[in-house]
Amino acid sequence: MPQLNPSPWFMIFVYTWAIFLLLVVPILLSSATPNEPVMQSAPSSKTCPWAWPWH
């Protein structure tokens, strides 16, 4: 059963991940977002204290 011999498959696995990490990931990370995020001012909320009965 050749699938139990890890010798050829392990190197294919290592080469595949090396290609993925060295070529594909930098290409994907270099892409810019089409719309840059803009800081929006947070709406100021008016808070009023509650009169808690402490008895």
How do residues 5-35 score in pLDDT, each as one tens digit?
A: 778 888 999 999 999 989 988 888 887 667 7
The pLDDT assigned to 49 comes to: 76
Residue ranges making up the domain that contains 15: 1-30
Rounded-to-integer distance, Cα 16 and Cα 36, Å? 33
Is 8 inside any structural domain? yes
Is 18 inside any structural domain? yes
Q: Which of the four pLDDT bands, split at 50, 70 and 90, describes residue 3? A: low
Tokens of 12: 């294919």
Domain count, the chain: 1
SS (H, E, C) the chain: CHHHCHHHHHHHHHHHHHHHHHHHHHHHHHCCCCCCCCCCCCCCCCCCCCCCCCC
* pTM, two decimal places: 0.44
